[in-house]
Every structure is written in structure tokens, then in C-alpha cells.
Amino acid sequence: MYSLNLIPSVLYLATTLPRLFNWAIEAEKDWL
């Protein structure tokens, strides 16, 4: 049952991490 609960969190990370990286890259461009 734990593995079933793990799937949504993995999908959440997979969709959130690229967004955070894009935000960090955009913020870095603004600083430079």
C-alpha cells in the first residue's frame, strides 16, 4: 500500500522540480 502512496508524490516531484529549475534559471538571468 505504501508504494501506491509513493506514486503521486513522485509525479508531484516530477512536475514541480522542472518548474523550480526554470524559476531559478529565470531569476539568475535577472540577476545577471
Per-residue confidence (pLDDT) for residue 4, from 0 to 100: 78
Is the model's pTM score more than 0.85?
A: no
Give the whole-angstrom CA distance, residue 4 versus residue 32.
43
Per-residue confidence (pLDDT) for residue 1, from 0 to 100: 61
- Cell (9 digits) for 24: 531559478
User: Which tens digits make up the pLDDT trace of 1-32?
Assistant: 667 788 889 999 999 999 999 999 998 888 77
The DSSP string of 1-32 is -HHHHHHHHHHHHHHHHHHHHHHHHHHHHHH-
